[in-house]
Amino acid sequence: MQSPRTIIEPFRIKSVEPLPLLTRADRLVHLRNAHYNPFLLRGEHVTIDLLTDSGTGAMSAKQWAALMLGDETYAGSRSYFRLAEVVRDLTGMRHVIPTHQGRASEHILFHVLQQRQIANGLPPMVVPSNSFFDTTRANCEYHGGIALDLLTDEGKDPTSEHPFKGNISLPKLKATLDEHGPNVPLVLVTVTNNKGGGQPVSLANLRAVRRICDDYGVPLYLDAARFAENAWLIREREAGQSHRMPEAIAKEMFRLADGFVMSAKKDGLVHIGGLLCINDDELADAARSLLILTEGFPTYGGLAGRDLEALAVGLTEVLDRKYLAYRHASVRYLFEKLDAMGVPLVRPPGGHAVFIDAGRFYPHIPPWQYPGVVLANALYIQGGVRAVEIGTAMFGAPDPAGGPDVCADHELVRLALPRRSYTQSHVDYLIEVVGAAWNDRSRALGLDIVEQKPVLRAFTARYEPRARPRRSSSAVPPADSDVQPPRNGHGTTA
């Protein structure tokens, strides 16, 4: 008898929360009131919320129990030392600095690095990475740094089946270090690569980056928000790794690095929290000084003692083999069902989300009319599903000359699955909603931004739908057209 193929959640549900079930007419009103930006929708108006997997998961019974053990002492809380012990065992890092979330860790790290550059009389820092996500890039650039994406070429092709499309390009990294030398305070590798579809970085790539960093005397840091998912995909895809447990792979990943930043709201399985962990004593001292100014005392870092306790439990639970197998089976199930319908996707499925290629979903909508936001709106209208655009709204920029936006390399929509929150029937419902949007795709219209901020505009931008063109003056290409807007070598429109 064959083993059952049905995905079952490796847990049972002890507490439930009602889902908002709204009519289509209600959703149209709420979307209009949110200025066609899913970020501006109220949570009570969303049925299935896939905007992010950050802090949106369900905590376990052990984590909820751990909340009652939290020591709320201002300085020297035993909950901090419990967390520090877990983190040091997992990562081997000497200095464990908690923060309230990942972007706080990034802010502190880039600030102290830039101050070190200034103190040494050096130009602004240059930070190479496989790919920066939006807030990480914004924090680097806010402090005057230059953030460089050096993703491997396979990672730039949504249709490529390469198993490790999150890898950093080793030739590009060497060339960057040759060119910028002492202006590079560290190399930052994001595991998994969220911007590029949740794609993993291989151990072989990390080991090679470590050797290059040693040759040039440059520290290697990780953006480790999804370290456990990266470890699992290494186990599943990398030759010679299938016999290893996720924990062993994760430990090797961390021990290849000199430090890391982490949003614990992902693979920490908590609702709030972050980590900045460093082996450099001098840098850690500077980071703690800034931490006191912005986050709180170094033994709580902006978190309550109960949050520290919950994180300590989450960092052990996330590496459970059964949990990770279920997590990735759910992502793969969603991917395969949408793929069978013909929906264009980033291939292969990553660790935390399925990414729809909105540029190919709506070939008649140019990138400067935000096809990713159009698709996110369609998913909400069709079934109350909230997703997020990862394209020109998030990673593009207005043209200083007033023309069409400088466009992103790809127009994607991320369906980020919160951890341990939704069941397979919720995913089946999601598949039906995407299918309805897919069947209606030829009727979709682009959007114009009517209000935007100069930094991280995707969070608060306001949009207006474009008017439907008259048939006599403009024809919409057929829905299965492969027409793509021309782009130049920088990912902008030609």
Tell me: the pLDDT tens digits for 374-385? 999 999 999 999
Q: What is the mean pLDDT of residues 141-154?
A: 96
Q: What is the mean pLDDT of residues 160-189?
A: 97
Give 42 or 482, the one with higher predicted confidence: 42
Closest CA to 128 of 230, 47, 56, 223: 223
Query: How wide is the angle at C-alpha 379 spanned by C-alphas 373 and 384, nearest 5°?
Result: 120
Query: How wide is the angle at C-alpha 375 spanned by C-alphas 386 and 439, nearest 5°?
Result: 110
* Nearest 10 degrees: Cα torsion 431, 433, 437, 439: 70
pLDDT at 14 over 80: yes
Tell me: the pLDDT tens digits for 231-279? 999 999 999 999 999 999 999 999 999 999 999 999 999 999 999 999 9
Question: Residue holding tokens 């394209």?
Answer: 391
Mean pLDDT of the chain: 93
pLDDT at 487 over 50: no
Paired sense of beta strands 187-190 and 353-357, if any: unpaired
Q: How confident is the model at residue 5 (pLDDT cuts 50, 70, 90)?
A: confident
pLDDT at 476 over 60: no
Give 415 or 488, the one with higher predicted confidence: 415
What ranges do the domains of the chain cover? 24-46+321-465, 61-317
Closest CA to 188 of 120, 139, 232, 117: 139
Q: How confident is the model at residue 401 (pLDDT cuts 50, 70, 90)?
A: confident
| Sign of CA pseudo-dihedral 138, 128, 315, 53 | positive
Q: If one looks up domain 61-317 in CATH, what number appears?
A: 3.40.640.10
Q: What is the mean pLDDT of residues 159-175?
A: 97
Q: How confident is the model at residue 471 (pLDDT cuts 50, 70, 90)?
A: low
Given this model, what pLDDT does residue 2 score?
58
Hey, which of 415-419, 451-455, 480-484 has the most confident mean pLDDT?
Answer: 415-419
Give me the percent of the chain exceeding a pLDDT of 70: 94
* 23-31 contacts at long range (C-beta below 8 A, 24 or more positions apart): 24/381, 24/382, 27/380, 27/381, 27/384, 28/381, 31/377, 31/380, 31/381
Superfamily designation of domain 24-46+321-465 = Aspartate Aminotransferase, domain 1 (3.90.1150.10)
Computed over its alpha carbons, how large is the radius of gyration of the chain? 22
pLDDT at 481 over 50: no
Tell me: the pLDDT tens digits for 200-241? 999 999 999 999 999 999 999 999 999 999 999 999 999 999
CA 252 to CA 123: how far, in whole Å? Answer: 34
**pTM over 0.95, yes/no:** no
What separation in angstroms does the CA of 76 have from each of 97, 101, 365? Answer: 13, 20, 56
